[in-house]
Homo-oligomer: A and B are copies of this chain.
Amino acid sequence: MIDSETGREVSARLSKIEGQIKGVRRMVEEGRYCVDILHQISAIQAALNRVAQRAMKRHLESCVAEAFQSKDKRERGKKVEELMEMFSRFGK
């Protein structure tokens, strides 16, 4: 689970990203150059990646660490599957 410290940080980052999205929408409405719009979108994607990494780190430190300490082989296996699925989802 996401603890309150990580939660506050992630939440603040998401608010900032919301503002960036609004900014891109404005750029589109003002008819700005496509390449400038694309650069802005790529900056938002990088910011979202940082959010994902923050959440992932917390996930590893808490849920995964706990599951791996469990004696239940099946539970450990499930966490590995979950991580692999995430790895391929965020991977190239």
Interface residues of A, count at CB 8 A: 57
- Residue contact B64 to A68, C-beta cutoff 8 Å: yes
A41 near B51: Cβ-Cβ < 8 Å: yes
Give the oligomeric copy count: 4
Q: How far is the CA of A52 from the CA of B42 in the complex (A)?
A: 8
Q: A57 and B80: CB pair below 8 A?
A: yes
Name A residues whose Cβ lies closer than 8 Å to a Cβ of B. Answer: 1-2, 7, 10-11, 14-15, 17-18, 21-22, 24-25, 28-29, 31-35, 37-39, 41-42, 44-45, 48-49, 51-53, 55-65, 68-69, 76, 80, 82-84, 86-92
- Which 3 residue pairs of A and B lie closest in terms of their CB atoms, listed nearest first? A68-B68, A34-B59, A92-B92
